[in-house]
């Protein structure tokens, strides 16, 4: 039969990033491509104990249909996490989502029509681009530097696109750059959101994993007029497999999110929510986050040291104070894909920069992940990657 697809569906069946991750999964390959947490730190025993307690004490509720807004116990855990991040609120402002990805998808569905302008950082989280595009978004990318999105460029974009409905930002340890927006720019961004009356979607998956510099207030905590929708997740500090994230917003908006979530998947897995709530009640998450941070810092140092030692002169990189990613810029290379191909020939995988841009990409860029590679494999992988870069630069 002939299939007639909606305009939401990409014309092409090519899943460039999926294909990259597939080759990166080859055991021969040292992969800096994915964005996975280190599984050796997953609190498997503690989760097992939590699952046991939940199924002993609350089994029927954990296996039954639940509320679209989320299990109250988990929403309380989320409120506690938000308080650490300077956001004092109540459970009417919180909805549990099936991972951050769902928070992004629902945001797209709620706010984006064909042609709606969405402002994004250049570069930004690639699956957010896919989602917003599927709802018809028109992207306006805003330049960044090591201090995050440039505020003069943002104001210019807002002036030139008065129909903008949404600014999507990952202000802390951004994906893919690892960069963090300064306090001054955070204040300015919230001010501009008010001045131009647009919403900000603040995505903060990595913020807790900081090894240097000071914690900075979230945009949400600086926002006095409900311009900021905040997203969090347990994927990076607990477990990505359980798919537990949240949206924090004005209760009026949470009502819309909850209605759309009901259409999307009725509710997030009850058992996973109960297990997470139980885990947080019985364990000290700060100890666990400290262990994650120490390991990722160690891996990042090994990677940055090797990059500085082996990469050709002229190649620059970001300097993350936390999170999972390093962003590399290679001068004089027009096609980032060539960097990927040359690296893969040497059994190293990276993600070339292109899919992280809503429109035109910055050539010669790529993302490296350090959280998921054992320490003893990083230097050697970087060395081979350096050879690949040299080869591409010399052509």
Q: Which of 150, 187, 256, 383 binds its own copies (CB under 8 A)?
A: 256
What is the number of other CB atoms lying within 10 angstroms of the CB of residue 102?
25
Cβ at position 248, least distance to its own copies in Å: 15
Does position 62 interact with its own copies (CB under 8 A)? The reply is yes
Task: Write out the binding residues for its own copies, residues 98-127 only, by CB under 8 A.
Answer: 98-99, 101-102, 105, 109-113, 116, 127
* 8 A C-beta contact, residue 350 and residue 339: yes
Q: Where are the beta strands (DSSP E) in the chain?
A: 30-31, 94-97, 117-122, 138-145, 148-149, 164-169, 199-203, 228-233, 245-248, 316-317, 325-329, 348-349, 351-352, 365-369
Cβ at position 148, least distance to its own copies in Å: 23
Cβ at position 81, least distance to its own copies in Å: 19
Cα(309)–Cα(377) distance, integer angstroms: 16
Contact region with its own copies (CB under 8 A), list: 88-96, 241-249, 315-323, 377-385? 241-249
Q: Which of 91, 130, 290, 293 binds its own copies (CB under 8 A)?
A: 130
Q: DSSP per residue over 97-125, as a string? A: ESHHHHHHHHHHHHH--TT-EEEEEES--
Q: Which of 27, 28, 64, 212 binds its own copies (CB under 8 A)?
A: 64
Does position 262 interact with its own copies (CB under 8 A)? The reply is yes
Cβ at position 203, least distance to its own copies in Å: 14
Cβ at position 86, least distance to its own copies in Å: 21
Task: Write out the binding residues for its own copies, residues 334-373 only, by CB under 8 A.
Answer: none
* Total residues binding its own copies (CB under 8 A): 81
Nearer to its own copies, 51 or 329 (CB): 51
Q: Which long-range contacts (CB under 8 A, 24 or more apart) does 18-25 make?
A: 20/340, 20/349, 20/351, 20/352, 23/344, 23/349, 24/349
User: What does the per-residue mask of binding to its own copies show for 136-165, with x meaning CB under 8 A?
Assistant: -----------------------------x
Beta bridge pairs of residue 143: 122
* 8 A C-beta contact, residue 350 and residue 343: yes
Q: Which of 75, 93, 210, 267 binds its own copies (CB under 8 A)?
A: 267
Residue 329, Cβ density class (10 Å: 0-12 exposed, 13-18 middle, ≥19 buried): middle
Q: Which of 24, 47, 209, 302 binds its own copies (CB under 8 A)?
A: 47
Does position 225 interact with its own copies (CB under 8 A)? The reply is yes
Task: Write out the binding residues for its own copies, residues 5-44 only, by CB under 8 A.
Answer: 5-10, 13, 15, 18, 36-37, 39-40, 42, 44
Residue 282, Cβ density class (10 Å: 0-12 exposed, 13-18 middle, ≥19 buried): exposed
Phi, psi of 390 (to 5 degrees): -55, -45
């Amino acid at each position: 039969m002939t299939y007639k697809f909606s305009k939401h569906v990409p014309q092409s069946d090519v899943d460039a990033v999926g294909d990259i991750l597939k080759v990166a999964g080859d055991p021969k390959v040292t992969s800096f491509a994915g964005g996975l947490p280190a599984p050796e730190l997953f609190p498997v025993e503690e989760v097992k104990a939590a699952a046991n307690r939940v199924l002993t004490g609350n089994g029927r509720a954990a296996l039954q249909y639940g509320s679209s807004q989320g299990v109250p116990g988990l929403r309380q855990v989320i409120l506690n996490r938000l308080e650490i991040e300077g956001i004092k609120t109540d459970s009417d402002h919180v909805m549990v989502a099936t991972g951050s990805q769902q928070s992004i998808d629902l945001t797209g569905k709620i706010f984006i029509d064909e042609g709606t302008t969405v402002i994004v950082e250049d570069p930004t989280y690639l699956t957010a681009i896919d989602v917003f595009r599927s709802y018809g978004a028109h992207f306006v990318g805003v330049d960044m530097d090591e201090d995050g999105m440039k505020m003069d460029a943002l104001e210019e974009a807002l002036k030139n696109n008065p129909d903008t409905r949404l600014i999507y930002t990952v202000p802390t340890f951004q994906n893919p750059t690892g960069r963090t927006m300064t306090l001054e720019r955070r204040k300015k961004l919230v001010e501009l959101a008010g001045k131009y009356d647009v919403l900000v979607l603040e995505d903060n998956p990595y913020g807790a994993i900081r090894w240097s510099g000071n914690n900075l207030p979230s945009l949400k905590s600086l926002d006095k007029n409900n311009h900021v929708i905040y997203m969090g997740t347990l994927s990076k500090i607990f477990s990505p497999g359980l798919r537990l994230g949240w949206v924090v917003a004005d209760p009026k908006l949470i009502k819309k999110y909850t209605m759309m979530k009901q259409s999307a998947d009725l509710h997030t897995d009850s058992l996973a929510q109960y297990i997470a709530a139980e885990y947080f009640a019985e364990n000290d998450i700060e100890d666990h986050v400290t262990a994650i941070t120490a390991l990722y810092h160690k891996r990042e140092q090994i990677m940055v040291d090797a990059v500085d030692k082996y990469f050709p002169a002229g190649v620059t990189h970001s300097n993350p104070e936390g999170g999972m990613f390093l962003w590399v810029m290679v001068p004089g290379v027009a096609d980032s894909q060539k960097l990927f191909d040359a690296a893969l020939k040497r059994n190293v995988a990276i993600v070339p920069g292109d899919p992280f841009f809503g429109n035109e990409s910055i050539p010669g860029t790529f993302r490296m992940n350090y959280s998921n590679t054992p320490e003893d494999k990083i230097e050697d992988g970087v060395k081979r990657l350096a050879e690949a870069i040299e080869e591409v630069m010399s052509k």
